Structure 1
Amino acid sequence: MGRSAGRRARKRDEDGGAGGLPRALALTLASALVWGVAHFATGRRIAGALLLALYLAIAVTAAGAVTVYRSDLVHLAVQPVVLQRISAALVALGVLWILVVIRSYLVLRPARLAAGARTLGAASVAVMCFAVAVPMAWSAHSAYVARDALTSIFRSGSESGKHVDTDDPFNGQARVNILLLGGDAAADRTGVRTDSMTVASVDTKTGDTVLLSLPRNLESFPMPPGPARDRFPYGFTGDGPQNPGLLNEVYEYAENHPDVVPGVAKNHRGPELLKATVAGILGLRVDYYILVDMFGFADIIDAMGGVKLKITEAIPYGLEGSVLQPGYRTLGGKEALWYGRSRTGSSDYVRMGRQKCLMRAIAEQADPRTVLTSFDKIAAAAKRTLSTDIPQELLPALMKLSGKVKDGGAQIRSLQFVPPLIYSGNPDFDKIRQLASDAVTRDPRQVSTQPSGTPSGSPDAPEGTESPKPDTKPVSLKNSCP
């Protein structure tokens, strides 16, 4: 009888008392979910209270960030320094969480366990640590990838010479004008041809946006004052018989002729000259540019899982006689590229319209879930695809404006300078400047027939261009995407 009671006592010691290993693992799991549970269960009240207080502080901070301060997160997410700190903080939090799990098991583990039970306990704790480590590591990695993409695409203001006052990022200007370029660096051509050129003029208070699109085949346009105008005093005439002097040739011409943009480094000469040229054509200041390589753009669409569009008419696709049929379609990157580039059976002007519809569809469908699930691929594609002179410090302010567009509060209108409004072979540049001025100076929320002119605070015309004349006829702007 005595020996039997002794064996039962030793068995209880090996199992760690009531519950044994199962109880220890259950409380360890509870402590992994809510810090401090294990310490309270073993009478370590001070340590348990400290862990619980730290856990609640982190939880409340996280909950407040995704609810009350959710809009601020978007602004922080485009600041490389903040992303670096977030990445480091997530790594530290993951390590701390793993240590809490391990320590919780150690204070709960029965004093004596059989070899099999010890192995089971260690394996169970390892699984818990892995479950904690994976989301922390993924989040830290995503923050690092985002920072890397931002610093690769956007230079700081000190590096680019474009200082940004964080208190007044737009320097008191009523509008910011960004030149959106679609570059077509195809294998069968030398250099980059900017076949898509649109100025997005954005109201810095409301986010209302006007898209002013210029055709690739615009001719006889004036060059900006300086070496470029000295070389082409009567308008751009190109560089030889293969380059007849179209607007989409200016970018590559500047890259091949450094003397027309003196003092500007390679790969920056094209954007600078094209910005100044477009500014002169429209009579508007052009602040920044974004160049999208159309072939790399297909990678972004593939990373998003495709883009949904309504195709209104059959579009020839590929070199094998395929066709994009009418109807609602989800296009992959290659198909979307053909949708935006095809001119077979249509024209440059129809293609311009399709490109704008494609850009709009991508912007609308790039929701947080899509971006998060394919973040690495999208970031890698963006690094290969995008180039810009927008400084990093301006990104929070631009994200705020884009949020107004996303939320539906801001209006987007478009105006294409194409026939019959403007004939690209013999353009009326006074008319172009007048129409551009009307488009950006009128409030889309008010119907007015008062002379528009160029009111105080509107974008200034660049040097060497005439201010557009007042006009009492409203400009018709519309969105034609199905």
Structure 2
Amino acid sequence: MAWKAVRGRGTAPGENQPPDATGARGLPGALGLTLASGLLWGVAHLWAGRRVAGILLMALYTALVTVTVVAVTLFRPELTGLAVQSDWLTRITAGLLTLGIVWAAVVIRSYQIARPFDRTAFTRTVGATAVAVLCVLVSLPLVWAAHLAQVSNDTLSSIFQAGGNGREIDRKDPWNGQRRVNVLLLGGDAGPNRVGVRTDSMTLASVDTHTGDTVLLSLPRNLESFPMPPGPARDRFPYGFTGDGPQTPGLLNEVYEYAENHPDVVPGVPKKQRGPELIKGTFAGILGVPVDYYILVDMQGFADLIDAMGGVRLTVPEDIVYGRLGEGRVKAGTRTLSGKEALWYGRSRTNSDDYVRMGRQKCLLRAVARQADPQRVLTRFDQLAEAARRAVSTDIPAELLPAFVKLSSRMRDGATINSLQFVPPLISTGNPDFDLIKSLTAKAIAASEKGATATPSPSPSSSRSATPRPHASSSPHASSSPDARDQAKPVSLDESCPS
């Protein structure tokens, strides 16, 4: 009778039932129900007879899980595109934190409903501790994911600038009808013991916006007598770049620094964009194709990126010596290289030359791109983001990132990546045949658009023993022999890099 009187005063079902009525009002049973509710919202509510609340919680939980699974399995490219947009990253961060709070609240409320009758100091302490631990366990993954989203947002905002570089980006046609997008990849040698930036690694990546097929066009750092872009730069150097005095003989890798020190050759350009603007225009004039964007990676920062991703696994055909006294050595074999070893694998010229080094750089970039899998990136995300902020600069607008992400996924999913290096004996660095360079560039791009497969042999870019010709020459086209021209075919990186 006493029990009926209690229920008659409006007490919620299950709250004041005697312990033997449910078998679950002891501490173990209450914690079991709370755990079940943490795994599937609404279990404790349904057990307590609160059917409406329980069904609503279960429906909401099921909807969240279903939407997540469908999005990840069917709309992964779209999700990846959203993950590089600042406004969406802000929403994702807020949504994840809100979900974590709601989940913790469900756990706490579930324990309040199912808590034991025997509320001694011991049961209260153990129960509160267990619930707190469970709240942390269910919320921690969401908080961590929100942290990653916020770090991504901060990193992207520091590297990529909003505004579209003065061009409005159409989301339906982000490439504005372009068949190809050309991105200049630069490796700079700035460091604490160096003045200025010399771009010792220079490669134009010409990417088909429909297929992702790519041609890598590399010019050597010691190319001479190249024309400057129309305007103040060409007015100053009407017969080709000659540098800035006896210490700078007029090599291609000096153009970036020259623009930084002489703002009058790129008038009206902000300080940080002077070097990129002039080297982009110079590259466009040499190759005969437009250069849309650039990405500059500082060499030391590149080593930090390699360390942040846990090293890069490479096959080194033979020992590579480095250092002024030859004191360093990257040993031959297939193994994981540290950031320092990877840096010298791509930079050392000891017992070799610029052109062999250029080939190694392509193989290194290929290995990094292939090994930057989602699991590795996620587990080392903070370190990678910090290293990227220090190492990378670019003029790619933030609004174009989703399009680049889709393009990069095509490149990873079987697109052809070929390489053509304009090095001796194909091109003499001291007396280049620029008509030939432009002609070979056009042919390589045309072949890529037709889906032609590169021939791996015997191309200068895969040669490990190429040596430069003397710079002096009496013929304006003495830069290449007929045999060299016959070998001027783009080379597949899969074939030219040892594995």
- TM-score greater than 0.5 by the shorter chain: yes
**C-alpha distance in 1 between matches for 2:22 and 2:212:** 67
**C-alpha distance in 1 between matches for 2:77 and 2:170:** 21
The letter for the 1-side match of 2:497 is: C
**Range with greater deviation from structure 2 (129-138 or 104-113):** 104-113
Identity of aligned residues (%): 64
The answer for the alignment partner of 2:23 in structure 1 is 18
Alignment pair present for 1:292 and 2:297 = yes
Measure how far apart 1:244 and its partner are.
0.6
Q: 1:15 to 1:271 in 2, by over 3 A?
A: farther
Contact 1:14 1:112 in 2 (8 A): no
Map residues 187-266 of structure 1 onto 2, 5 A cutoff. 187-266=192-271
Measure how far apart 1:65 and its partner are.
1.3
TM-score normalised by length of structure 2: 0.87
The letter for the 1-side match of 2:279 is: L
Measure how far apart 1:74 and its partner are.
1.4
Q: 1:121-165, CA deviations, whole angstroms, 9 ceiling, x for partnerless residues?
A: 00110110010121111000000001111111111125x324322
Map residues 382-393 of structure 1 onto 2, 5 A cutoff. 382-393=388-399
**C-alpha distance in 2 between matches for 1:334 and 1:273:** 30
**C-alpha distance in 2 between matches for 1:186 and 1:473:** 40
Alignment pair present for 1:138 and 2:151 = no
The answer for the alignment partner of 1:102 in structure 2 is 108
Map residues 152-167 of structure 1 onto 2, 5 A cutoff. 152-158=158-164, 160-167=165-172
Q: 1:50 to 1:347 in 2, by over 3 A?
A: same
Measure how far apart 1:186 and its partner are.
3.0
**C-alpha distance in 1 between matches for 2:198 and 2:21:** 75
**C-alpha distance in 2 between matches for 1:134 and 1:32:** 13
**C-alpha distance in 2 between matches for 1:188 and 1:425:** 29
Q: 1:310-349, CA deviations, whole angstroms, 9 ceiling, x for partnerless residues?
A: 0011101446723212110210001111111101111011
Structure 2, gaps ≥5 residues long: 1-16, 455-484
Q: 1:447 to 1:309 in 2, by over 3 A?
A: closer
Alpha-carbon RMSD: 1.8
Q: 1:140 to 1:362 in 2, by over 3 A?
A: same
**C-alpha distance in 1 between matches for 2:322 and 2:46:** 67
Contact 1:298 1:333 in 2 (8 A): yes
**C-alpha distance in 1 between matches for 2:172 and 2:74:** 22
Structure 1, gaps ≥5 residues long: 1-11, 449-471
Alignment pair present for 1:128 and 2:134 = yes
**C-alpha distance in 1 between matches for 2:453 and 2:62:** 54
Q: 1:291 to 1:15 in 2, by over 3 A?
A: farther
Contact 2:426 2:488 in 1 (8 A): no
The letter for the 2-side match of 1:481 is: C
SS in 1 for 2:193: coil
**C-alpha distance in 2 between matches for 1:191 and 1:16:** 81
**C-alpha distance in 1 between matches for 2:336 and 2:186:** 24
**C-alpha distance in 2 between matches for 1:126 and 1:290:** 47
Measure how far apart 1:422 and its partner are.
0.3
Map residues 373-412 of structure 1 onto 2, 5 A cutoff. 373-408=379-414, 410-412=415-417
**C-alpha distance in 2 between matches for 1:193 and 1:447:** 34
Q: 1:281 to 1:22 in 2, by over 3 A?
A: same
**C-alpha distance in 2 between matches for 1:276 and 1:16:** 83
Equivalent of 1:118, from 124, 142, 145?
Answer: 124
Alignment pair present for 1:349 and 2:362 = no
**C-alpha distance in 1 between matches for 2:450 and 2:416:** 8
Measure how far apart 1:52 and its partner are.
0.5
SS in 1 for 2:176: coil
Map residues 173-184 of structure 1 onto 2, 5 A cutoff. 173-184=178-189
Q: 1:145-201, CA deviations, whole angstroms, 9 ceiling, x for partnerless residues?
A: 01111111111125x324322111111111100000001113332100000000000
